[in-house]
A and B are shown apart, each in its own frame.
Chain A
Amino acid sequence: KQEVTQIPAALSVPEGENLVLNCSFTDSAIYNLQWFRQDPGKGLTSLLLIQSSQREQTSGRLNASLDKSSGRSTLYIAASQPGDSATYLCAALTQGGSEKLVFGKGMKLTVNP
């Protein structure tokens, strides 16, 4: 059974820092690995999706990498801003059966001005 872990559960940093958010998964049989952002009272916003055959994806200040063999993905946020404060979720679209999206519990990020 796929398990997705995000550590730490919360992170507070000063503005301007470059950040690395970690995600690990136990079953490497995945179609893709996705990163989402969740703001309080709002739904999930897709940030990046990395196919299983890819190593990384970039969008603006965000870069996500995937190492299937070690069961790890990282989300890199460059030059963090207070507007980046949110909860970040990673999710693995896992092969087999219902091909479901298995989520980590999220990491709450606070960027202080």
Chain B
Amino acid sequence: EAQVTQNPRYLITVTGKKLTVTCSQNMNHEYMSWYRQDPGLGLRQIYYSMNVEVTDKGDVPEGYKVSRKEKRNFPLILESPSPNQTSLYFCASSPLEARLRETQYFGPGTRLLVL
């Protein structure tokens, strides 16, 4: 089954404790992206990647890091989480050549609470 998976699905942590949210897709997509969703603000893009070793900032990259060492994986790293990073996070992927014609496939979301 074609899918985007995220782990963990739910996470409670404390300020300053480094964490990684993993994202993996099994569709051989080049393009991957991270979004955060907050009440009243909608979904906003954090980082995206056009292919392996190619990443770029989205609208709200502060406090986040990403890496793209393999095509299927695109982890989101919070080096020193703060309470304002409490949010619902989504990973998405799509084929690069069809990105302008086809939709992105979204993961199930990771709900993060930073105390």
A32 at the interface (CB under 8 A from B): yes
- Shortest beta-carbon distance from B49 to chain A in Å: 11
Give the size category of A's interface with B: 20 to 34
Q: Given the known inter-chain contacts A98-B56, A99-B100, A100-B58, please indicate yes or no for A43 contacting B43, CB distance below 8 A.
A: no
User: Which one of B14-22, B69-77, B78-86, B104-112 contacts A?
Assistant: B104-112
Option from B33, B45, B56, B90 in Cβ contact (under 8 Å) with A43: B90
A93 at the interface (CB under 8 A from B): yes
| A-side interface mostly | strand
**Is the Cβ of B43 less than 8 Å from the Cβ of A103?**
yes
Enumerate A1-48 residues with CB–CB distance to B below 8 Å. 4, 31-32, 34, 36, 41-46
B12 at the interface (CB under 8 A from A): no
A105 at the interface (CB under 8 A from B): yes
- Give the complex CA separation of A16 and B83 in angstroms: 43
Of all chain A residues, the one with the shortest Cβ separation from B103 is A46
How many residues of B are counted as interface, with CB atoms below 8 angstroms from the partner's CB atoms?
A: 25
**Is the Cβ of B103 less than 8 Å from the Cβ of A105?**
no
Which residues of chain A come closer than 8 Å to B45, judged between CB atoms?
100-101
**Is the Cβ of A44 less than 8 Å from the Cβ of B48?**
no
Enumerate B49-100 residues with CB–CB distance to A below 8 Å. 56, 58-59, 90, 92, 99-100
- Shortest beta-carbon distance from A9 to chain B in Å: 9
Option from A31, A91, A100 in Cβ contact (under 8 Å) with B48: A100
Q: Could you mark each residue 33-45 of chain B with 1 if its beta carbon is under 8 Å from any beta carbon of chain A, else 0?
A: 1000000111111
**Is the Cβ of A101 less than 8 Å from the Cβ of B104?**
yes
Of all chain B residues, the one with the shortest Cβ separation from A4 is B42
Of all chain A residues, the one with the shortest Cβ separation from B3 is A43
Option from B42, B59, B101, B105 in Cβ contact (under 8 Å) with A104: B42
Q: Which 9 A-B pairs have the closest CB atoms?
A: A105-B42, A46-B103, A44-B106, A103-B43, A43-B106, A43-B108, A31-B100, A103-B42, A49-B103
